[in-house]
Chain A
Amino acid sequence: MKSAISVDNLRKVYGPVVAVDGISFEVHEEEIFGMVGPNGAGKTTTIECIEGLRRPDGGSVQVLGLHPQRDGYELRERIGVQLQEAALHYRIKVWEALDLFASFYSRQVDWHPLLERLGLTEKHNAPFAKLSGGQEQRLFIALALINDPDLVFLDELTTGLDPQARRAMWDLVRSIRERGKTVFLTTHYMEEAEQLCDRVAIIDQGQIVALDTPENLIRSLGAENRVVFSVDDRFDEQPLRAAPGVTRVERIGERVVVYGQGDRLVGGVVNALEAGGVRFRDLRTEQPSLEDVFLALTGREMRE
């Protein structure tokens, strides 16, 4: 597998604050690579060092075989960047922005299909100031794709979007990869990383604490699945404890949590309840998530 990005021992310091503390990783071609971690963990600094917008204090970065500082202009011809903080002139119209940015690149791409793909056709004559948060974000993504880049950077893509817009954005990112592009994204939503990324680097306080596929990261926890339900009456918990896969049972008020492992856990729990004639409701299962991985690795919640 070829590398789109290689980062070796990258360091960036702001005064006394070590923002990025010697991190190394590779991003493969045609994968969605995610960097997740809480705000202030060093994600944006890392992504901007790779894009060539910030000068690292140490270590080396190679992107598409180029040096982001030395070969900046050449590199920016081939990458697409969505920045966490950026703006356009509030009176510029959507089509003008696309037409303008298209002229910055030597690779000529017709931007009209992009307008449609991002659902901005109806807004093509609207000024930037009149766009909603989601439309703004989609315009910035259109601008990031306008040169048909080999590598796309998306920094905090869905921050500030409602859940529906967020899901639409995920589909969009998947479609970018399906076109043979590489995507490097940062997010502080663990769910987003889990849903979207082929591989995830968890970053905390400027260091990578784990890097693998979301499935492997979760499996490595060895954490238990949970079956949660509510009951109105007292019931005998003993048959439940004996059900296949169950390791323990907790009861808090009318809420019951059954911990266990294996594929037969849910079936076993339901059978035991039916056999005992227990009236239960709101039954659902909870799998360990990247949130749990982060908690286990750092001893802290993602959002504090």
Chain B
Amino acid sequence: MRSLWKLTLVEAKLYLREPMAAFFTLVFPLMMLFLFGSIYGNEPTDFYGGRGSVDVSVPAYMAMIIGTVGLLSIAITTATYRETGILRRYRATPLRPAVILISQVVVNFVMTLLGVLLLVVVARLVYGLRFEGNGVSVLGAFILSTLSFFAIGFLLASLAPTARVANIVGMVLFYPNLFLSGAAMPKEMFPDGVLLVSRVLPLTYVVDLLQGLWFGDPWGDHLTEVAVLVGMLAVGVIVSAKTFRWE
């Protein structure tokens, strides 16, 4: 337990010392909020079914944060730790691999949660963000989505031969997911062709689930999203456990 606590603490410090990672988790979503908030405000419109632009965007930006941490932070960090020999050095100690994995999950989860909380609080204070759902349900959906994307990040790190490849593949997956899933801009603006493409992007399911529960949909309306995310989680965990390499 002592090793888990220390490793988690050190990893958290290292995360915060990495300006890029902290920027994309904590600062960038706020920049998006202020940019589009200042353009569209948060007046209810028929376009968003009687809700404001910020109301619809905040759960979507939550998905954006989840995507960033899973596809970029986790994948690149893990692949880099392996490539530079950090994992190799750990392996020469009695440290259990599970401890390394858990510390990564904990740190990244806490950072994702911090990013999301910061976003919600600021949106509430500045734009009077409206919430029509059940807090526990949204938290549950957030946890499922986060773990599911983390699993994909670990999977990517396991399959990528080098950190560079993990980096490139992470980016190639991340950007279409970001722009075409509704995470960065509302799907209400998309033409039908793009909507079709969005169905194959995993982040779409996070956006739909979080937005739905945010506005009070019952879980029953989102069984497809839940099934997709649980499936991703299972595949990610099983494959990355089987293909894990120390070096």
Interface residues of A (CB under 8 A from B): 51, 53, 73-74, 76-77, 81, 83, 85-89, 91-92, 96, 99-101, 103-106, 143
Is the contact region of chain B dominated by helix, strand, or loop, or is it mixed?
helix
Is the contact region of chain A dominated by helix, strand, or loop, or is it mixed?
loop
What is the bound-complex CA distance between A134 and B2, given in angstroms?
A: 30
1/0 contact string of B1-36 vs chain A (CB within 8 Å):
011011100100110011000000000000000000
The reply to whether A77 and B94 form a contact with Cβ atoms under 8 Å apart is yes
Task: Provide the residues of chain A in CB contact with B85, threshold 8 Å.
Answer: 83, 85-87
Contact of B89 among A73, A74, A77, A83 (CB under 8 A): A83
Task: Provide the residues of chain B in CB contact with A85, threshold 8 Å.
Answer: 85, 88
Sort chain B's interface into a size bin: 20 to 34
Known: A51-B92, A83-B92. A91 touches B6 (CB 8 A): no
What is the bound-complex CA distance between A86 and B92, given in angstroms?
A: 10
The reply to whether B92 and A100 form a contact with Cβ atoms under 8 Å apart is no
A-B contact pairs, 18 of them (CB 8 A): A53-B92, A74-B94, A76-B92, A76-B93, A81-B92, A81-B93, A83-B92, A85-B88, A86-B85, A87-B84, A91-B14, A92-B14, A100-B10, A103-B2, A104-B3, A104-B90, A104-B95, A105-B94
Task: Provide the residues of chain A in CB contact with B2, threshold 8 Å.
Answer: 103
What is the bound-complex CA distance between A86 and B84, given in angstroms?
A: 7
Q: Which of A51, A99, A103, A143 has its CB near the most chain B CB atoms (within 10 A)?
A: A103
The reply to whether A99 and B6 form a contact with Cβ atoms under 8 Å apart is yes
What is the bound-complex CA distance between A86 and B87, given in angstroms?
A: 8
What is the bound-complex CA distance between A106 and B3, given in angstroms?
A: 10
How many inter-chain residue pairs (CB < 8 Å) link A and B?
59
The reply to whether A87 and B7 form a contact with Cβ atoms under 8 Å apart is no
Known: A100-B7, A103-B7. A89 touches B86 (CB 8 A): yes
Contact of A86 among B3, B7, B10, B88 (CB under 8 A): B88
Q: Does B199 contact A (CB under 8 A)?
A: no
What is the bound-complex CA distance between A89 and B2, given in angstroms?
A: 20
Write the chain A residue with the least CB distance to B77: A89
Task: Provide the residues of chain B in CB contact with A99, threshold 8 Å.
Answer: 6
CB distance from A83 to the nearest CB of B (A): 6
Q: Does B91 contact A (CB under 8 A)?
A: yes
CB distance from B83 to the nearest CB of A (A): 9
What is the bound-complex CA distance between A81 and B85, given in angstroms?
A: 14
The reply to whether B14 and A105 form a contact with Cβ atoms under 8 Å apart is no
Write the chain A residue with the least CB distance to B246: A53
The reply to whether B13 and A96 form a contact with Cβ atoms under 8 Å apart is yes
The reply to whether A73 and B94 form a contact with Cβ atoms under 8 Å apart is yes
CB distance from B3 to the nearest CB of A (A): 5
Task: Provide the residues of chain B in CB contact with A88, threshold 8 Å.
Answer: 86, 89
Task: Provide the residues of chain A in CB contact with B94, threshold 8 Å.
Answer: 73-74, 76-77, 104-106
CB distance from A109 to the nearest CB of B (A): 13
CB distance from B159 to the nearest CB of A (A): 22
